[in-house]
Amino acid sequence: MLEDPNGTFSIDDVISPSKDALFRDVPNVYAGGYTRKVHWFRFTLRGEAQRSQGYIQPLFLEIQPSYLDDIQLFQPDIEHAGSFIHKRSGDTYPFSTREIPGRNFVFKVSIPDNQTQIFYVRLSTTSSSLFYVRAWNPIEYVQAQAGEYTLLGLYFGLMFATLIFVLWQGQWRREPTYRSFVAFLVSIILLMLGMNGLIGEYIAPEWPAFANFWVSAFVFIATGLAARFHRSILDIDIRQPFLNGYFVTLTWLPIVLAPVAILGYFTESVHILMICSLFAPVMGISRCFTLIRQGQVGSRLLMLANLASLAGYSYTLLGLVGITKGMVMQIYGVQIHSLIALLAFNAVLMSRFRHLQQEHQRAQKVAEQAQSAQMAAHLAQQRQGALLSMLTHELKTPLSVIRLALSRLDGDPVIQHNAKTAVIDIRDVVNRCMEADKLDQDAFPVEPAPCNVTTLLRSLRVKSSEPTRIAIDIPGVLPTVISDPLLLRTVISNLMDNALKYSPSGSPVTVQALLSSRQEDACPGILLTFTNRQGEAGLPDPIQIYERYYRSPGAHAKTGSGLGLFVARQLAERLGAALAYLPPNGDSPVRFTLWIPLNTQ
């Protein structure tokens, strides 16, 4: 091989004795990388005694790869000493000009029996300066071509099958990683079609500029989409600033370099792009170690995919940029490594897809179990409601009869009082249970209406079990509030009954009402304060006081359900009111406050 830095050498210059010493031996496959230098190759062929019907059987010289721009072959002319037979080919020439049709560049040469000839090839290309030449017997060439096209058919068949499978799964509609993979896969397929010469052979045989541009364009596109896909599948984001910066840069670098390439500096721009891509394997493998430690699904398979594909790409790219010596694998390596990469990454996505399906099935099963449990609970609640409704209906009449009978009996007043109190307590327990059940069934719709708080307080005092103990303090005239009279009555009644029940017998219970605005937003309202002395039951736990069925340890001496304050709190929230318990200090009175907005709506 002889380098022609400026591309000015002619065949006469190359064969001159002064240039002979400048030729150097190179491997069977030469890799010169991306460079503007012109390369001259010199090799010797010997003619074999092979004749067919009296004619010398020619040899086929096949030059690869199929994306080289300009190839000029110089064969000594045996009829004119010192002259050469000059032939040209390359992907910048129409396909119809090729001497032997095929995706690679094939020249037909004839060499006399048992004679040797020195051939020269001039290579000029904007792509990577790879050069691989083989001499074929025509029959063997045809057989080799049949096998080669068969392998290409299998190769692209696998590619398209993978693409169809991913599209059929449908995850690309929902998952950005799948969309990135589809874009990456399509770009690789289109790039491989161009790099294998199939675009120039079948799609645009008479438009060599288009076929040449196709390869150049998809080198940039595939590199950017590959970086974008790797960033997505490796779960890299701003939490990994260095890795994220690298892959984001590599994603946008082709777009930045594209104008430079269009301006005529494709060789320089693609060289920069390929050099930057060499760091991707190290980045990908280092990230895989982190994902394995985190236990992410498919991370070990992802590591294998990176080792098999990214490392393979690096080896190929090292040859393309001229760092490593040429080998046949550097011509076919891109196809092989791209196929391994895509199949491996597809396996990673399949494992994640199966995991998502399993998670979905588990979630669906849990949801079905929860729905079944909810239906069972709802059914139990309905049965409980039916039972409470039946008990309420069946107990109210006997309790009324008992109260009427007790009022007519002449006997010990203390016994009569205790009996009446017991009946009232039973009635209250039943009422609280019914109220709690209605809350569970959401059977307390709020129906706002004008409500006079003063009238309501006085009415509830009259209907209470001990009206003489309740003192109502209302300084001034209170405005009418817009609230649900029934729900507000229930809340206030429960607070009054609670104060009467747990304060010392005969002690006063004070209910004070005055205008007050809410501190958070200055919303106007009425503040009711229920005050009573501490009784024998002691003080409740401020944290548990509004819980269902909670009663303080000393409260069990009296009949109760533990539902009064629970119901009051729930109904108050529905009315937009605020119920609060003010724990006393020492022997100070027990206080509950109920703030009611002037307008519940």
**Per-residue model confidence (pLDDT) at position 294:** 85
pLDDT more than 90, % of the chain: 37
In a domain, 385, yes or no: no
- Using the predicted structure, report yes or no on whether residue 352 has a pLDDT greater than 90: no
**Per-residue model confidence (pLDDT) at position 314:** 59
**323 and 187, same structural domain?**
yes
**Per-residue model confidence (pLDDT) at position 325:** 56
Query: Any idea what the Cα angle at residue 156 is, between residues 153 and 161, rounded to 5°?
Result: 115
- Of 136-145, 392-401, 551-560, highest mean pLDDT: 136-145
Phi, psi of 122 (to 5 degrees): -100, 125
- Interatomic CA distance for residues 37 and 236, integer angstroms: 40
Q: Which of 363, 382, 398 is the last residue of a domain?
A: 363
Residue-wise pLDDT tens digits, 272-309: 888 888 788 788 888 888 888 888 877 787 887 777 76
- Using the predicted structure, report yes or no on whether residue 390 has a pLDDT greater than 60: no
Q: Which of 345, 363, 381 is the last residue of a domain?
A: 363
**117 and 266, same structural domain?**
no
- What's 176-224 look like in SS3? HHHHHHHHHHHHHHHHHHHHCCHHHHHHCCCCHHHHHHHHHHHHHHHHH
What's this model's pTM, rounded to 2 decimal places?
0.60
**103 and 20, same structural domain?**
yes
Q: Which of 363, 383, 411 is the last residue of a domain?
A: 363
Find, among 339, 345, 350, 328, the residue nearest to 156 by Cα.
339
- Interatomic CA distance for residues 465 and 420, integer angstroms: 10
In a domain, 426, yes or no: no
68-72, 171-175, 198-202, 417-421: the lowest-pLDDT one: 417-421
- Using the predicted structure, report yes or no on whether residue 124 has a pLDDT greater than 90: yes
**What is the rounded average pLDDT of the residues 166-178?**
87
**Would you call the peptide bond into 65 cis, given omega within 30 degrees of 0 as the criterion?**
yes
- Interatomic CA distance for residues 4 and 14, integer angstroms: 9
**What is the rounded average pLDDT of the residues 244-273?**
89
Find, among 416, 432, 424, the residue nearest to 400 by Cα.
424
**188 and 132, same structural domain?**
no
| Number of domains, the chain | 3
- Interatomic CA distance for residues 294 and 203, integer angstroms: 48
**515 and 577, same structural domain?**
yes
- Of 206-215, 392-401, 560-569, highest mean pLDDT: 206-215
- Interatomic CA distance for residues 1 and 557, integer angstroms: 109
**Per-residue model confidence (pLDDT) at position 189:** 93
- Using the predicted structure, report yes or no on whether residue 395 has a pLDDT greater than 60: no
In a domain, 480, yes or no: yes
87-96, 219-228, 300-309, 457-466: the lowest-pLDDT one: 300-309
**The pair of three-digit structure tokens given for residue 580, joined into one six-digit string:** 């609060």
Residue-wise pLDDT tens digits, 415-441: 666 666 656 656 655 665 666 566 666
The domain in which residue 531 lies consists of 444-597
What is the CATH number for 41? 2.60.40.2380
In a domain, 314, yes or no: yes
